[in-house]
Structure 1
Amino acid sequence: MLRSPGWRFFIVGLLILLMFIPILFVSEIINDRANYNRSTRDSVGQEWGGRQLISGPVLVVPVQETVTVREKRQVLDPETGIQKLDADDKPVFRHVDVQKTVNRDPVYLYPNQFTTQIDTTTQERHRGIFTVPVYTASAAMSFDFPTDAVADALRGKEVAIWGKSEIELHVTSNRALRGAAELTTNGQQLQMEPLAPNDNRVGGLRAPTGDPRNHDTYTMKLGFNGAQTLSIAPVGRTSEISFASDWAHPSFNGAFLPNDYEASEDGFTANWLIPHLARPLPQVSRETQEYTARHEASFGVDFYQPNDFYQKSYRAARYGLMFIGLTFLTIFLIEGQSKRPTHPVQYLLVGLAQSTFFLLMLALAEQLGFGAAYLVAGGATVALVTAYGAMALALGKRTIVLGLLLTLLYAVLYLILRSADYALLAGSILAFGAIAGTMYATRNENWYGEKREKSGGGWFRRTAPAAPEAPPTQS
């Protein structure tokens, strides 16, 4: 019973499930290395300037209102200057209406026409074995503000204090700014100062404008550093934004994709045209729209690194149990006629060798890149398991079948990892083919363990049990 094909098949199935444990540990190691890589890249990126997101410019117009306030004041004796007391020796007070000027919420005015050209020059910074793309950017902006819209935002007796208006430009981190920021209008250069972060903004620049009704178009030039990602918010009623870079692998993200772009080995260019109706921002507001601008309207580009072997390694490990199972199944089928069946410990050694493949591939990929690492790790694993099949499992000439199947499996896995779009299709076809092949190879198998005929068998052939003899006919 214990040596029957059915029982051995059941044991092999349990061994396949047992291999889930090393595969799980391998997946955890891959995740740890990916997290370490991510934290290292973030650390290097922050030192260079971090992920930059530009929102603004916005014109901030202070608002004041004169209100009547009833105040309680002491009644003083005109001769002594001492507060009067009533008959009960209590202080005497009177109520006086006083005119006071109080500050109200400012008016936030966004540009009418907003045009921006951002050019970036990239380089790669290294820390240990990790590489981080960083960039130096220069932005040229042109914008104007519809100051007539401020009157519609005022309530009651509120008055706009035009002379104290300011233009604000918000950036992720002031540490990333490089060089002098220039803001000019009507031939006059405005002085820009750092803007302290608060609950509504992360940092940036401010420039007093005087009365903005006397100004037409503003132009701004800004230089800054950044890493990994560059984004901008389309704050204008009509926003025309262009990116140009020498980075060959852009990945666009955010609320809007570019209207058109070109990418080559020499770099990329991208253009956006965002109309007023498409942006989730009002033209004029009494509340800051910084959160909406940064988190709901912004878009940009990731400086993508195409050799993301951590993701490929993790995906490969997810297929690991299926590939180990197919290898076990192959060994089970081709050793069916062997006088010495494969021991469970030998199955486990083969499974551990294949589990180690994923770690070896990841370790080599961090040094050589994914393609070369996969070739070396896959070739070493196929050679090891095939040699073990020949020497330890005594498969003889059937070792060729094992080696060819392993080569096919790792070739299919490579195609799956290289093409995410067809990964499910390739994996499904492979699984279906494995099941169909097993059904064909075991079509004449007697799973109860009755002895097969010794002749007429091949690698995958099973001789059907002899038909019962017909009873002799009576004459």
Structure 2
Amino acid sequence: MRDSIGIRFLIVGLLTLLMFIPLFFVSEIVQSRKYYSEDTLRDVGREWGGEQVISGPVLVVPVEETVDQTSSEQVVDPITNEVKMDENGQAIFKQVTRRVTVKRDPIYVYPNAFDVKIATQTQVRHRGIFNVPVYQADMTVAFDFPTDLIVDMAVNEEVILWDDAAMVVDISNNAALRGVAVLTIDGSAYPLEPIASSERRAGITADIGDPREGTSYDLHLGLNGAQSLMIAPVGRQTSVAVTSDWASPSFSGAFLPDGSDISDAGFSARWTIPHLARTLPQLSRDNYTSTLRRDMAFGVEFIEPNDFYQKSYRAAKYAILFIALTFLTVLLIEKGTKRPAHPVQYLLIGLAQSIFVLLMVAYSEQFGFAIAYAISAGATIVLLTFFGHFGLNLGKRTAVLALMLLVLYGVLYLILQSEDFALLAGATLAFVALAATMYFTRNEDWYGPEGKGMFAKKVKVPAPESIEAKAARTAAAKAAEAQN
């Protein structure tokens, strides 16, 4: 069986499939470390302010109506002040109609023009071995309200309480508010208060009085946040401009920016959202805040692109290809040696390459990806080269194994650095490896030397003649001779 290259190919193929087991557990370890890192990011980010979604300002105008309200009341004796009873001892009721004032659904008014400018400064917070990017945002908003349309929203005998109107801005977490928080209407400052709500609603509000008297509104807020900053397009014409010193933004949400400039010094982005691009009425008796925040918000995520956990997980996925190529190289260059590699030796090679991924994750958490990759890949290449020389007795052919390992881990580094071209590089490498194998094995005798391989043609050898048969044959020969 050792002389049949075909059988050895099949065995090495089965060993390659067997290596999926350790690679599966390696992938699970990488994922568990990634989840632990993400939990740390969320915890630190939440303490700093968390992911911010800003929706507002919205003008809320109370409405009330005086109506006739009929109710059943017990009949009371005006003299004794006791409830009158019928002959069956049951209380007597009468229908009473009174005019009462009741509150109706308020009118929600969204801005006409909604111009937002946000400047953020980022910093990195540390917890244990993890780095957490957070930001401080300085936001200025200029807006106005179409107050001339409010009166058309009143029906029947409803009365609009103009003097009780309030402006509301919803945010994700009031604890994120830092520094300035100023509202000015036509140059006059108005005090801001947190929203008092039993629904865990976060935000700020201001009693602004009769909104018909105001024409120009300006809001200035300072807030902390982490991971993302999102804006809801509340205006009939929404314009948002964001500048930051973060060099790796990821734009997300319902709308992508009209244009952006990204460099090592930071980024700037601009959005313009017309009212036809959003499913939101300008005035409504329904509160669309939840819909705005959930379905229409847009903005930027402050992320670490292609972090080392993603790279390590992708390395574990590609590892089976590199293990197979290493096995194939050993199988081809050991041809002609007195003692071919044992299956256990192939397993040791595969386990070393599986542990390479764990080394890369462990060192990346301490030193960063580039240094960790160099240490892990270098240690693995040196280990397998020494094993090839002393364990597999490859002699001068060890240089071929070392060169192949250098090429493989160099290609893997390029694959992990560029996610966009990873599939192209991996597919090309696999095709080249297969083509090289077909070329170098073009003259192989896959069945092995004649008569020695498992699938070699079998030649029938006559069974040895027994003593009894030989004696019978001799006696028959003598009898035939006597007759002649």
With the length of structure 2 as denominator, give the TM-score of the two structures: 0.89
Q: CA deviation at 1:173?
A: 0.4
SS in 1 for 2:138: strand
Distance in 2 (CA, whole Å) between partners of 1:248 and 1:84 is 81
Query: 8 Å contact 1:183–1:220 — kept in the other structure?
Result: yes
Q: Does 1:19 align with 2:15?
A: no
Q: Report the equivalent of 1:168.
A: 168
Q: Report the equivalent of 1:187.
A: 187
Q: Report the equivalent of 1:361.
A: 360
Query: 8 Å contact 2:2–2:340 — kept in the other structure?
Result: no
Query: After superposition, what is the alpha-carbon deviation per residue over 1:5-29, rounded to whole angstroms, capped at 9, x for unaligned?
Result: 2222111111111111111111011
Q: Does 1:441 align with 2:440?
A: yes
Unaligned runs of 5+ residues in structure 1 are 453-475
Letter in 2 for 1:30: V
Query: After superposition, what is the alpha-carbon deviation per residue over 1:387-417, rounded to whole angstroms, capped at 9, x for unaligned?
Result: 1111110111111111111111111111211
Q: Report the equivalent of 1:473.
A: none
Query: 8 Å contact 2:3–2:449 — kept in the other structure?
Result: no
Q: CA deviation at 1:127?
A: 1.0
Q: CA deviation at 1:310?
A: 0.6
Q: Does 1:43 align with 2:43?
A: yes
Query: 8 Å contact 1:76–1:83 — kept in the other structure?
Result: yes
Q: Report the equivalent of 2:130.
A: 130
The alpha-carbon distance between structure 1 residues 403 and 159, as it changes in their structure 2 partners (threshold 3 A), is same
Q: Does 1:120 align with 2:120?
A: yes
User: In the TM superposition, what are the counterparts of 1:314-393 in structure 2 within 5 Å?
Assistant: 314-393=313-392
User: In the TM superposition, what are the counterparts of 1:232-271 in structure 2 within 5 Å?
Assistant: 232-271=231-270
SS in 2 for 1:210: coil
Q: CA deviation at 1:292?
A: 1.4
User: In the TM superposition, what are the counterparts of 1:389-404 in structure 2 within 5 Å?
Assistant: 389-404=388-403
Q: Report the equivalent of 2:468.
A: none
Q: Report the equivalent of 2:196.
A: 196
Q: Does 1:278 align with 2:270?
A: no
SS in 1 for 2:350: helix
Q: Does 1:65 align with 2:79?
A: no
Q: CA deviation at 1:152?
A: 3.2
Q: Report the equivalent of 1:106.
A: 106
Letter in 1 for 2:214: H
Query: 8 Å contact 2:165–2:207 — kept in the other structure?
Result: yes
The alpha-carbon distance between structure 1 residues 342 and 77, as it changes in their structure 2 partners (threshold 3 A), is closer
Distance in 2 (CA, whole Å) between partners of 1:15 and 1:130 is 38
Q: CA deviation at 1:107?
A: 1.2
Distance in 1 (CA, whole Å) between partners of 2:23 and 2:89 is 90
Q: CA deviation at 1:3?
A: 4.3
Distance in 2 (CA, whole Å) between partners of 1:89 and 1:427 is 92
Distance in 1 (CA, whole Å) between partners of 2:27 and 2:85 is 85
Unaligned runs of 5+ residues in structure 2 are 452-484
Query: After superposition, what is the alpha-carbon deviation per residue over 1:133-174, rounded to whole angstroms, capped at 9, x for unaligned?
Result: 111111111111112222333333322222211111111100
Q: CA deviation at 1:355?
A: 0.7
Letter in 2 for 1:424: L
Q: Report the equivalent of 1:305.
A: 304
SS in 1 for 2:225: strand
SS in 2 for 1:133: strand
SS in 2 for 1:319: helix
With the length of structure 1 as denominator, give the TM-score of the two structures: 0.91
SS in 2 for 1:339: coil
| Structure possessing the higher radius of gyration over alpha carbons | 2
Q: CA deviation at 1:86?
A: 4.8
User: In the TM superposition, what are the counterparts of 1:206-221 in structure 2 within 5 Å?
Assistant: 206-221=205-220
Query: 8 Å contact 1:281–1:292 — kept in the other structure?
Result: no
Letter in 2 for 1:100: V
Q: Report the equivalent of 2:454.
A: none
The alpha-carbon distance between structure 1 residues 330 and 72, as it changes in their structure 2 partners (threshold 3 A), is same
Distance in 1 (CA, whole Å) between partners of 2:202 and 2:121 is 24
Deviates more, 1:141-150 or 1:107-116: 141-150
Query: 8 Å contact 1:307–1:369 — kept in the other structure?
Result: no
Q: CA deviation at 1:306?
A: 3.4
Query: 8 Å contact 2:139–2:220 — kept in the other structure?
Result: yes
Distance in 1 (CA, whole Å) between partners of 2:429 and 2:407 is 10
Q: CA deviation at 1:313?
A: 0.7
Q: Report the equivalent of 2:473.
A: none
SS in 2 for 1:40: helix
Distance in 2 (CA, whole Å) between partners of 1:300 and 1:74 is 61
SS in 2 for 1:258: coil
